[in-house]
Amino acid sequence: MSDVPIFAHEPWILPARGRVAMWSLIVAESAIFSLFVVAYIYYMGRDQFGPTPSVLDRPILNTVCLLSSSLTIWIAERAIEQGRMRRFAIFWAITILLGLKFLIGTITEFRTLINRDGLTIDANLFGTTFYSLVGLHATHVLVGLVGLSLIMAFTLFGKVNRSHAERIQVFSMYWHFVDAVWVVVFTVVYIVGK
Amino acid sequence: MSDQTIPVSGSLQAAYPQRGTMLEWLHGWIVTVDHKKLGILYITYALFFLLVGGVEAMLIRIQLMAPHNHVISPEMYDELFTMHGTTMVFLVGMPILFGFANYLVPIMIGARDMAFPRLNAFSFWLTAFGGLLLYYSFLGGFGLYGMGNAPDVGWFAYAPLTGKVFSPGHNVDYWALALIVSGFGTVGTAINIIATTVSLRCKGMTFFRMPLFVWILLVVSALTLVTITPLTAAQVMLLLDRYLGAHFFDAQAGGSPMLWIHFFWIFGHPEVYVLVLPAFAIANEVIPVFSRKAIFGYPAMVAASVGIGFTSLAVWAHHMFTVGMSSAGNSFFVISTMVVGIFTGIKVFNWLATMWGGSITFSTPMLFCTGFLFQFLIAGLTGIMLAVAPWDWQLHNSYFLIAHFHYALVGAIIMCIFAGFYYWFPKATGRMMSETLGKWHFWVFVIGFHMTFDTMHFVGLLGMPRSIYTYEPNRGWDTLNLIISIGAFVQAVGVLIFVWNLVHSYVRGKLAGPDPWDAWTLEWATPSPPPSYNFVVEPEVRSRRPLWDIKHPNDPDWKYEQ
Amino acid sequence: MQHPLSPSRIRSGLSLALCFCAFAWRAFAEGPDSIPNTFAPASTPTHEIFDLSLFALTVTGAIFVSVAALLTFVCIRYHNSRSNPTNEPPQVYGSLQVELAWTVIPILIVVVLFLTTARIIFAIQDEPEPANALNVTVIGHQFWWEFRYPSYGIVTANELHIPVSTPQQPEPTFLRLISADVDHSFWVPQLAGKTDLIPNHPNELWMDPHEPGLYLGQCAQFCGVEHAKMLIRVYADTPADFAAWIKDQQQPASNDPAVAVGRRIFETQACMVCHTIKGTRALGTVGPDLTHLMSRATLAAGAALNTPANLRAWVENPATFKPGCLMPAMHLSNQQVDALVAYLSTLR
């Protein structure tokens, strides 16, 4: 028989597990993105044939949309924290629309590059690294949008309330991360690499 | 000081409800989200693949017993060593260590389960199906030689041999997909362990009161996040090459096989530490208990573990001294690799100091840990030799290298895993493992180990390269290879004794009671096996050895710890 | 050439011990000259590596002996033979001084070892190429080696001839390593450390054998099914022998009318698609150049000795020696094989 002593003083507060887990996931995802970025930089300007990065148009509007969606989701986070559910729903919806605009923009960009410039993933090293890096990011936006839409649906059915603020904020971390990655991708692909 | 005490053993229900029908029992294991059951599932799964990988090793050794042997075809041989490596690293090493982590981390920090029990179960099943997918390739893949077969490009899978041109079948796809799937599971578990350790510690369990086992698993999990993911990314690139005609590693279109080598070892080297650190973690628990002393230099041990974690991210190219890097590049990776030696040196000396002045009993767990100390010392020193880049130009990809990493993987990791089995088996099953069989297991295994792997160093120095299915006679390798093969069979006998001991003790073993080793960490404060909720009331601790404090109320640890 | 920082006395003592070991290993061996022993260096770079390895062995050996002795001492001295300890030993939690000591000492060892190592890395890797060096291009193919001597216009396979390089008359050989397909690694332990052949990534390697003789090696990077049978033979020739060999190799292939049937088979079957025989229509570069096939001691990258019987078996069905190699069985009739082998046998 063994006994464990109990001490009843000092409050014992630990970080929320959801935030810790999301931070961990972000670290893991960053490692994946780093490799694709490294591959892009490594092969920059090595092509002997095929289209070069000069065919790219800087997606300024897209970038503005995605970055401002970080702001709108932040407003939504604050709103649910204060229990202002209407405001939450509105700004959550705006976030989705901005994300959707970005995704459609990327699709249009890909279509143009394929049809106008003949740049495909097997065209050359630029095609390979460009589509995989930007495509990987777009995939993350897509996953984020699915998550955002699910939460939107729950909100519309009135299943989301103030007590979910913590979870909403944890999910928003992912969206902020996707935006932050875009800053890196944009810098590498459309500024440095062009 | 203590306001009240709670009884934590004796008054509890049996650990698991009475077994119903076979189907109910099976259903219970499949749908379980209990961290202890998942831990046991992980370990059982890994043990199964340990036997599979062991059989593959035996076949390899039969083929290499004599020069120009024709027991196994060259194609089969390539599959065997590829699958042996992949199995042992991904389906044995990682799952078994995550199994121990799953079972022990929550209970050691006084929690009732992992932070995300369902994610935990999901991760296990992903890992499990990854393994099954890999082995399905024996039926479904088409390899270098065009017949239905398993991956045969080496566990390192160097490009461009893995390209569609040189590996036209599907076996490389099985290799990549299986590891991507099990990799997701691994990352899930790593996230879970981090969240558990950070967020579910019981009252009073500050970071510097966590058992070293938990500390190291925290470091390992953090390392896993940035280790497995590069492999996943590289494998995605490989699949893009193979299926969409991308050119990441395609030399014909200007792609660079060097990129794969870098990416693989950016994963591959930290991976070694992901495997070996949990072995240290087990030694950190076993050695103090059987020396009857607190671990010497706890803060230094933590610092060394974290140091190894960070340094391991900057040493990958010591696998690449022969690929033609610049002299400056080579020199950088020489120094960064040797720095790891300093950290591991600190660990070895601290274990030594823990035993110094102790009262050591050589029960089976301690026996294995002692063997580990000697063998790990040698593995570390041959590692230093390999870090001497010009010498590595000779030793790289020779049997000396094979000997070195088997010294680390078998001589250190497997030995510690055996120690962990003997140490925690009573906790998980309520029964002791047989000491007699344990000692037989130890001595037979150690003798076989040294026959095999000591000899491998010499055959490597005599110029025998790895991955060859046969070799020429008259090169001074014949007798040595025969000794290596005999040693391998002796080891196999040792492992069979171990398996028999597991089965026998599970049924017939002596009842263990809650705390058979008179140990100090929280898992021994629960009944054996622990109930699904672990603790009736969440415990509260004041030092690194809560049970020591209880057993020695006049001389508790918290008086001395800072 | 330069030597590592190690004290010469320790080195000579260790050399003695290692020579003894090397001798013991030789006793194992059936043919004493055929061991690619890394501890029997025969060129300047391998001598430097050998000296460095002795130094590293001394350091690591000393560490091993002292730590293992301590461990053994602890295990014996503090072993508690009673099964149940009545009293716990005094608890010690750590000691800053002791821990600092065993952190600082390894750091010092590492610094010394690193400086010694870096010196040799630069000495070997950045050795400037002398003007009279022989240049050879080594091309790795799946399961065989191609050697090109650009300055002599020679192409040969699997058996590399290079001149001996003596202190009086230094003539090192600089190899340029490239790959035609997958990764390989060129390793002749007595002459040079291994260096990989990687597509799109040319590498360099140099060697200067001090004594004439035959040095064995093989591919050291897994490259596919027949990786095990991708052997290398390096002949270090005296200057006179080397000059004679060059002269022979520069000749076009012999054209003996007695074996015209075999030659016609070679030129009309698929043989000519992959192989070159100088002076004929066969100009393929997929397989080894056969212009002077009979000047080589082995077939199929060392898989078999170059005897008439082996040659016949090889032409009839390459899988006899090398299952999985890229040369197909041509399904020729017995008469055709005989004629073909007769022709090949004249290619001296």
Q: Report pLDDT digits (tens) over A95-140.
A: 999 999 999 999 999 999 999 999 999 999 999 999 999 999 999 9
Which stretch of DSSP H or E encloses residue B119?
helix B117-140
SS3 at position C151:
coil
Give me the sign of the Cα torsion angle A50, A52, A54, A59: positive
Task: Give a yes or no: residue A49 inside a domain.
Answer: no
* Domain count of the fold of chain A: 1
- Distance CA(B142)–CA(B175), nearest Å, equals 12
Please judge whether B463 and C189 are an interchain contact, meaning their C-beta atoms are less than 8 angstroms apart: yes
DSSP-derived 3-state class of residue C129: coil
Average pLDDT, chain B: 91
| CA gap B112, B115 in Å, rounded | 9
Cβ within 8 Å, pair B256-C201 = yes
Q: How far apart are CA A113 and CA A190, in angstroms?
A: 14
Question: pLDDT tens for residues B275-307?
Answer: 999 999 999 999 999 999 999 999 999 999 999
Residue with the two structure tokens 């010196």: C119
Contact between B405 and B375 under an 8 Å Cβ cutoff? The reply is no
Residue with structure tokens 């971390």? Answer: A173
Q: Write the single-letter amino acid at A115.
A: N
Measure CB to CB from residue B476 to each of C35, C46, C120 and give the nearest one: C35
Distance of alpha carbon B79 from alpha carbon B58, whole angstroms: 14
Non-local CB neighbours of C62 within 8 Å, separated by 6+ positions: none
- Sort out which chain B residues have CB atoms less than 8 A from C182's CB and list them: 158, 160-161, 166, 257
Looking at chain B, which residue has its C-alpha nearest residue C321? B68
Task: Kindly report which listed range (A99-103, B137-141, B239-243, C297-301) carries the lowest average pLDDT score.
Answer: B137-141
Phi (first) and psi of residue C206, to 5 degrees: -135, 155
pLDDT for position C25: 52
Tell whether C95 lies on the interface with B, counting CB pairs under 8 A.
Answer: yes
- Residue linked to tokens 């290298």: B401
| Mean predicted confidence (pLDDT) in C231-236 | 94
Which residues is A6 bridged to in the sheet? B4
Show the domains of chain B with their CATH numbers.
Answer: 22-545 (1.20.210.10)
The DSSP output letter for C76 is H
To the nearest whole Å, the CA of A170 is away from the closest chain B CA by: 13
The CATH class for the domain spanning C8-78+94-125 reads mainly alpha
Non-local CB neighbours of B68 within 8 Å, separated by 6+ positions: B470, B471, B472, B473
Burial class of B135 by CB neighbour count within 10 A (0 to 12, 13 to 18, 19+): middle
Q: How many CB atoms lie within 10 A of CB C310?
A: 17
Q: According to the model, what pLDDT value does residue B147 have?
A: 55
The answer to whether residue C28 scores a pLDDT higher than 70 is no
DSSP sequence for C196-233: EEBTTB-EEEEE--SS-EEEEEE--S--STTGGG-EEE
Helix/strand/coil for C234:
strand
User: In chain A, where does DSSP find H-type helix?
Assistant: 17-42, 60-81, 85-117, 125-156, 165-185
**Beta sheet of C213-218, edge-to-edge order:** C159-163, C231-237, C213-218
pLDDT of residue C1: 36
Domain assignment of residue A64, given as a range: 58-192
Q: Identify which of A4, A8, A122 has the shortest CB distance to residue B244.
A: A122
Alpha-carbon gap, residue B253 to C200, rounded angstroms: 10
**Contact (CB, 8 A) for B533 and B112:** yes
Is A68 within a domain? Answer: yes
Contact A20 B198 (CB under 8 A): yes
| Assigned domain for A88 exists | yes
Disruptive mutation site among A1, A10, A14, A24 for chain B (greatest number of B CBs within 10 Å): A24
pTM: 0.91
Domain C257-344 CATH (choose: 3.40.50.1220, 2.120.10.80, 2.60.40.420, 1.10.357.10): 2.60.40.420
pLDDT of residue C8: 47
Q: How confident is the model at residue B4 (pLDDT cuts 50, 70, 90)?
A: very low
Minimum distance, in Å, between the CA of residue B21 and any CA atom of chain C = 42
Boundaries of every domain in chain C: 8-78+94-125, 134-240, 257-344
Give the residue from B272, C112, C332, C348 showing the smallest Cα distance to C340. Answer: C332
pLDDT tens for each residue of C94-130: 888 889 988 999 999 999 999 999 999 999 999 999 9
Q: Which residues of A135-165 are buried (b: 16+ CB within 10 A; e: fewer)?
A: ebbbebbeebbeebeebbeebeeeebeeebb
The predicted structure's pLDDT at residue A11: 79
Is there a common fold for C8-78+94-125 and C134-240? no
B315 Cβ contact partners less than 8 Å away, ≥ 6 residues apart: B269, B333, B336, B337, B340
pLDDT of residue C4: 40
Distance CA C20, CA B202 (A): 61
B370 reaches C (C-beta below 8 A): yes
Cα R_g (chain B), whole angstroms: 24
Phi, psi for C183 (deg, rounded to 5): -75, 135
The CATH homologous superfamily for domain C134-240 is Cupredoxins -  blue copper proteins (2.60.40.420)
Return the amino acid letter for B406.
H
ipTM here: 0.91
Q: Give CA–CA dist B98/B95, Å, rounded.
A: 5
pLDDT at B485 over 80: yes
Q: What is the mean pLDDT of chain C?
A: 87
Angle between helices B257-291 and B327-355 (to 10 degrees): 10
Q: Is residue A31 part of a domain?
A: no
- The stretch C238-258 carries a mean pLDDT of 91
Q: What backbone torsions phi and psi does residue A40 show, to the nearest 5 degrees?
A: -65, -45
CA B391 to chain centre: 28
Inter-residue contact B313 to B270 (CB < 8 Å): yes
- Looking at chain B, the whole-number percentage of residues with pLDDT higher than 90 is 79
Of the pLDDT bands very low, low, confident and very high (cuts 50, 70, 90), residue B11 is very low
Would you say A125 and A51 are in contact if contact means Cβ atoms under 8 Å apart?
no
A90 in any annotated domain = yes
Nearest by CB to A2, from B236, B248, B525: name it: B525
Residue with tokens 């900057």: B314
Contact (CB<8Å) A128/B550: no
Cβ(B392)–Cβ(B383) below 8 Å: no
CA atoms of B428 and B416, how far apart (whole Å)? 17
Query: What confidence tier does B430 reach under pLDDT thresholds 50, 70, 90?
Result: very high
pLDDT per position as a tens digit, B329-351: 999 999 999 999 999 999 999 99
pLDDT of residue B150: 83
A positions 1-30 inside 8 Å of B (CB):
1-8, 12, 14-18, 20-21, 24-25, 27-29
- Show Cβ contacts of residue B507 under 8 Å, excluding neighbours closer than 6 positions: none
Cβ neighbors of C231 (< 8 A, separation 6 or more) are B472, C158, C216, C217, C218, C219, C298, C301, C302, C303
Q: How confident is the model at residue B317 (pLDDT cuts 50, 70, 90)?
A: very high
Peptide bond connecting B117 to the previous residue in cis, omega within 30 degrees of 0? no
Q: Which residues of chain C make contact with B484, given a CB cutoff of 8 A? A: none
Q: What is the pLDDT of residue B142?
A: 63
Mean pLDDT of the region B228-251: 93
Question: Which pLDDT belongs to residue B145?
Answer: 53
